[in-house]
Amino acid sequence: MFTTKNSIFKRLISFTMCICLVILFYSPNIQAKDLYLNNLYQISLQRTNGIEIINLPSDLSKSEIFKLKNNILLHGDEYLTQNEIEYIKQNAEEKGGLVYGSWFGGFDKYYSMSIKEQINFFNGIATFIGLFIADSKAIVSFTTSIISLLNNEYILPESFSEGEWIKANCRKRYREVSYSDGTFAYFETGIFLNNLSAADNNYGSPKAILSGGLY
């Protein structure tokens, strides 16, 4: 009788220990799963000046988000040359063209600068873009694109005088470019200047898109 009770007691202890082990084993996984789900539409990308938290499109399915995250992890630090971009575009024409995803990530910033000395229009725009882009070649490329666009619509002043202001609501965004079969091609970065004004003149909302990377 005593042996039977002792056996039952041992089994009860073993069962209790098993339950405790199961709880200990699954609790971290549950917490990790919850943490991952809470951050489903975000991903972090290491930059030269720190970590950038990138918000992803909320209208994508989980499988699409996982695929986008994977592409960011694999290609987030790649920067293609113009020749490489042209090669991809030529190949894509034979496969049904390229597909452009939704804009995501980046950040917004309102910028205003009172000119303390003479500054040309190019440098004024480059100052805006420098808020978002660290790479000097990329800054020049974006600035040249915006100046070229504006020159088709406005007669731009050669310079601004001391005391004049240049202002804009600035946005940076990213998007994924894929082949028609869904295969990743490259990323694009967009710089959007909304309500750009300089010396009391309004220049609308020019934008510039640079293919080949998350700048």
Residues 95-145: tens digit of each pLDDT: 889 999 999 999 999 999 898 888 899 999 999 999 999 899 999 999 999
Residues 142-201: tens digit of each pLDDT: 999 999 999 999 999 888 888 999 999 999 999 999 999 999 999 999 999 999 999 889
Lowest mean pLDDT, pick from 35-39, 91-95, 181-185 = 35-39
pLDDT of residue 16: 52
Entry pTM: 0.79
Nearest CA to 102 among 55, 57, 53? 57
Cα distances from 178 to residues 67, 108, 128, 186, in angstroms, run: 12, 26, 29, 7
Say if residue 138 is exposed, middle or buried (CB neighbours under 10 Å; 0-12, 13-18, 19+): buried
